Homo-oligomer: A and B are copies of this chain.
Amino acid sequence: MKIQVAVAEDNPNLIRSVLEKLQLFDQVEVMWVANNGVEVIQKVTNQQPDVILMDINMPEMNGVEATRKVKDQFPNIKVIMLTVFDETDKIFNSILAGASGYLLKDEKPGKLIQAIEEAIEGGAPMSPVIAAKSLQLIRSGKQEPIESVDFGLTNREMEILEEISKGKNYQQIADKLFISPKTVRKHIENIYRKLQVHNKVEAIQLAMKHGII
């Protein structure tokens, strides 16, 4: 059984170029070709390919929107975005829309086939340039400006700060660490002094702000 591929692209020359690349390999078969996003939705309703090679920029409905609608109706269809540009926001939107991969249009025929196969196997084929940008997205979107300040807390103090953040009282922390509650209090006194705070809530808020806990 050949892999069923669909192509969505408005530029006739690029369609021809893609089709030529695909024809070099007999493990894939082109099911249909669409010239814009609206056409994609129409055709995919009748015939579901395994993979859609989707141009980002198309008239009527762009590739990102089309991807969203396709993945919404047929989550199993893999969508690989094709583009000449590597704009960060389009990459980001494509990923959110559910695209499985993202390739630049000048990939060699072998790469293209390889990407199609990887996508079917659950991988996410990406041109390295695109991959680099998606890593940037992760870095920027997640952990941003946490300013790690060293308050000079000892290991034991860190341990106790952890327990404080769980809402435990002196006695419970003492039981957990097999020490006297008096000792716990002394440690906490030292923590407060080092962090320059005066109660548990302030301590954990400051600790979280600086990523200590």
Contact of A167 among B95, B126, B201 (CB under 8 A): B201
- Asked if residues A165 and B201 are in contact (CB atoms below 8 Å), the reply is yes
In the assembled complex, A4 has its CB within 8 A of some CB on chain B: no
Interface 9-mer from A11-19, A133-141, A152-160: A133-141
Contact of A199 among B96, B138, B169, B197 (CB under 8 A): B169
Which residues 163-203 of A sit at the B interface, judged by CB distance below 8 A?
164-167, 169, 197-202
Question: Interface majority SS on A: helix, strand, loop or mixed?
Answer: helix
- Bound complex: CA A99 to CA B135 (Å): 9
Q: Which residues of B contact A164 (CB under 8 A)?
A: 201
In the bound complex, residues from chain B placing their C-beta under 8 Å from that of A101 are 128, 131
Our pick among B125, B202, B204 for the contact of A131 (Cβ within 8 Å) is B125
Tell whether A27 is near chain B: CB-to-CB under 8 Å.
no
